[in-house]
Chain A
Amino acid sequence: MRITSRPPVFWSINALLGATALGLISASSPAFAADPIKIGVIAEAQAIAGASIPQAAQMAADEINAKGGVDGRKIEIVTYDNHSSSADSVRAFQRAVNEDKVNIVIASYISEVVLALEPWASRLKTPFVTPGAASNEISKSVHADYEKNKYTFHGYLTSAALALSVCDAAKELLVDQKHMKTAVIMSEDAAWTKPLDIGYEECLPKIGLKVLDHIRFSPDTTDFTPIFNKIEAAKPDVMITGISHVGVQPTVQWKNQQVPIPMFGISSQATNSTFGKDTNDAANGVLYQGVSGPGVAVTPKSIPFADGFKAKFGNYPSYAGYTAYDEVYYIADAVKRAGSTDADKLVDALEKTDWEGTIGRVQFYGKDDPFTHSIKYGKGLITGLMLQWQDGQQVAVWPKEVAKTQIKFPSFIKVTAN
């Protein structure tokens, strides 16, 4: 028997071929490590409502990736802090698309920022979803020039829908239960409150609340004493709020000055659970509209998300956290259905979204609706909630299907019409 030994070169070639083959195998495996779905997240990382956006988006991406990604493709979140500035956001959007090659962008809770980004989504043909801006103009622009602006999706309720949601809640909680008859609208001067105020002025009289006065103030306001005095002089039963850029200061001054009128409406900063600590619990009694909240089972996904977020980041998310989380999921779903990250195919797929998220069932209005690409408002879809700060906690008080308790006011509030 002859024993032959092969020269070392043979083994080297063999090893090389083997390695190449292994490389080919791994390249064709479902991991597709080199080709992730890249989502750019541009947000106000230092602001109370915006801080939850990148955190929630990353949480959704981690969950999807842990389950194998989308057809084996991982989701990669690329975050940019826009310092609440439109100019910084536009630069971040350009960088996200041109340099970081993201497939889609989730951006901002500020309407001015989103309105500045909308033309860039059109120019750079990159799908873009906002998790928290409300201005009607965002989706109206899509309707006005669909072919150009179809890349923008309004992943949060429009100001018109928010006004409806507040009025629906006010009808049951204030008019029917507390027999209130009069209101003063108090809103900050910003793009999102213009349509909101029009909505309030239309719907409040219809539900039986006469509007006695309408006060708009600069978002830079720090001393709210003259505003509260003016409101008090009108003797309304309730203040209907439209505040987002401000929140802590009016709330603390309302409590410190013991303004005897309840606050009810949109108060974006109050949606984040850190608001209680920021206001030294002056928030107790504040009633605010939300799309979801801690301990509120809007859908079976709501509570696990809110609790998971708190376990990870130490606080419950702001409203824009819920929507950003859902957005990553329905973007992943759209990529799966489109079978591609091609912008136009992704737009087509997003238009057909029917996703049960943490805030309800997400569908977008179509091309023929005046609010094209805005999420649909209504029973069985998204109706919003009314929550109240009670004893340092956020609790749902409307609608009754999810309400945990009755509304309760601090001792300095005089519910005169009761």
Chain B
Amino acid sequence: MLTLQILIDGFAVSALYALGATGFTLIFGVSGVLNLSHGAIMVAAAVAAWAAASVLHTDTYTGALIGVAVALVMSFATYFAVVQPIQKSRRIPNEEKEIFVLTGTLLWGIMIQELIAYCFTNNAKTVLPIVEGVVNILGVRTPKNEIFTAVVCCLVIALLWLLVNRTRTGKAVLAASMNPRGVTLLGLELTSIYVVVWAIYGVLAGIAGVLLGMFLGVSSYSVGPLTASAFSIVVLGGLGSVSGSLIAAFVVGYLETITAYLISPAYRTIPALLLLVVVMYIRPQGLLGRR
């Protein structure tokens, strides 16, 4: 019974982690940007979905779509207002641009976080679930919303795989992650590939944010932990490796769930962080990372 409970809960949490981390690692893999405003964009999506339903009284589906749309806008804003000006700047030396992008996105995330706290308080918000009620799976009472979360996460990740591997745009994105220079030599505009990647990222972060808002709830305090958790998963899986991040998300998700059930919810995040330290010692490039 407890094993089944851990399997079900761990799967939903892991799938959500996987979706959240996929966009984060995709951006790094293709454009070399570590977007530290990731948590803020996820929280903004969830709070927008909550506000649409609770303040503007839209239905749950419209609220969720508004949440994803807000994340998409925020994603473009991050790229055009923060990342691109740094990358194009002639006053910042090339070797310092990465650290500027890191700091810029971090500050941008803090600005979004403070804005959310100012407008909607730092109190947690929960998005009304699209499916309500519970089902009994072999004696384990499981919210339908938890199953919905897991299914949507898996579907979106599958769609992303299809997009990257089976479409022309996707193949261009993949090529850009392998050899940006080669892509430009083939006559493709690198900037438009980046715009596509930031659009994909916005949708992924938006869906992950709204689902998190429905499943567990978010507050402006969640910004830091969400960025940190995506960062840990991506580092564990190997920076830039989507499949590595997926595996790492499930390792972290299940490790946390097992700890919460078998030891104590208070120590939930500790074993995953210890594992990260161990992996950094033994295999610094992460599980599936490239050196």
Contact = CB atoms under 8 A, between A and B. Distances in A.
Contacts of A212: none
Contacts, number: 86
B117 A222 contact: no
A65 interface: no
Interface residues of B, number: 34
Contacts of A218: 265-266
Nearest to B117: A46
B143 A257 contact: yes
Nearest to A252: B126
What is the interface of chain A mostly: helix, strand, loop, or mixed? loop
A257 B134 contact: yes
A249 interface: yes
Contacts of B225: 220
A148 to B, nearest CB: 34
Given A48-B121, A229-B261, A258-B134, A217 B126 contact: no
B243 interface: no
B242 interface: no
A225 to B, nearest CB: 5
Nearest to A218: B266
B265 A278 contact: no
Contacts of A216: 266
A47 interface: yes
A249 B217 contact: yes
B91 to A, nearest CB: 34
Contacts of A223: 9, 13, 216, 260, 265, 268
Interface in A246-299: 246-249, 252-253, 256-258, 269, 274, 277-280, 282
B230 to A, nearest CB: 15
B177 interface: no
Given A256-B132, A280-B126, A226 B265 contact: yes
B122 interface: yes
B260 A252 contact: no
A217 B266 contact: yes
Contact of B261 (A226, A248, A269, A277): A226
Interface residues of A, number: 34
Contact of A279 (B121, B126, B143): B126
A189 B266 contact: yes
A315 B141 CA distance: 36
B126 A46 contact: no
Nearest to A280: B128
A97 B219 CA distance: 33
A196 B121 CA distance: 27
Interface string B207-247: 00000000011011010010000000000000000000000
B87 interface: no
A48 B126 contact: no
Interface in B116-147: 117-118, 121-129, 132-134, 141, 143, 145
A278 B9 CA distance: 24
B125 A248 contact: yes
A280 B124 CA distance: 12
Q: Which of A47, A189, A218, A280 counts the most B-chain CB atoms under 10 A from its CB? A: A280
The 7 closest A-B pairs by CB, nearest first: A248-B124, A226-B260, A48-B123, A252-B126, A249-B217, A46-B122, A280-B128
29 contacts: A46-B123, A189-B266, A216-B266, A217-B265, A218-B265, A221-B265, A221-B266, A222-B216, A223-B216, A223-B265, A223-B268, A225-B9, A226-B9, A227-B265, A229-B5, A247-B124, A248-B124, A248-B125, A249-B126, A252-B126, A253-B216, A256-B129, A256-B132, A256-B143, A269-B123, A274-B123, A278-B125, A280-B54, A280-B127
